Amino acid sequence: MIENYTLLYAQGENANEGASYLTSLFKNVYSASTGKTAWEIYKEKKPKIVILDMNLPEIDGLELAQKIRELDKKCKIVILTEDTNVDELLVAIKLNLTEYIIKPINAEDLAIIIRRAMDELKEDDQKVNLLELANGFYWEKTLDKLYKNNKEIKLTKKETELLKLLSSKLNSTVPTEEIMKFIYDDAICSTSKFRTLLYRLKLKINYELIESVYAIGYRLKVKNKK
């Protein structure tokens, strides 16, 4: 199995045959033999990858792709067609498709296309989950990791918790008391203990990221927008 992404496979009478192969790659694969059925499945399941035959009955693949794109700008769409039609190709280009392919296509080529769609999805997810900070730093929200120049900066558990809190309140100053309570929970924490943690973290990041606001607290420096 590749990933936990979902896929819709709409290929007319051959939908079930192709779907059986794809189930070995994906957690959830939905198949449809008509464009109308595919549209209903899409609205309910919201698959991340859609493979459409151009000549689907009821709603053809290109029209279905247009309907999907109106709702979702990031869904990865692949259209398979039996011949090249210039007018259809021009419409397809505007839909930002992952692929527009002439049939027949074998399983190996299909796997390559799916991998490309997967890579695009991961890039999209990464952009959403990355916070761009000052001086080349990035905070990855889902993994709670700090990077600079594409290199991870190793953090302790407490350092991670501190940056997690500050990153959740960008452009704001977080009071010292709130920070200490978040990091140390209900445990007794002396000010000196917290300052030691902060000092060591600042050394680790070369004093380039955390800004002290006198008598209030701390905040992360963000990248200046031009």
pLDDT at 116: 87
Mean pLDDT by 10 residues, the chain (226 residues): 76 61 76 93 93 91 92 90 75 82 81 86 75 89 87 94 92 91 72 90 92 93 72
Q: How many residues are listed for the chain in this entry?
A: 226
Cα–Cα–Cα angle for 25, 117, 146, rounded to 5 degrees: 100
pLDDT at 226: 47
pLDDT at 181: 87
pLDDT at 100: 84
Q: Going from the N-terminus, what domains does the chain have, and what CATH number goes with each?
A: 3-129 (3.40.50.2300), 133-220 (1.10.10.10)
Asked if 8 and 45 count as a contact pair (C-beta separation under 8 A), the reply is: yes
Q: Please, which residues have CB within 8 angstroms of residue 223's CB and are 6 or more apart in sequence?
A: 132, 133, 134
- DSSP symbol at 133: B
DSSP sequence for 23-73: TTTEEEEEEESSHHHHHHHHHHH--SEEEEETT-SSS-HHHHHHHHHHH-S
pLDDT at 189: 65
pLDDT at 3: 58
Q: Three-state SS for 162?
A: helix
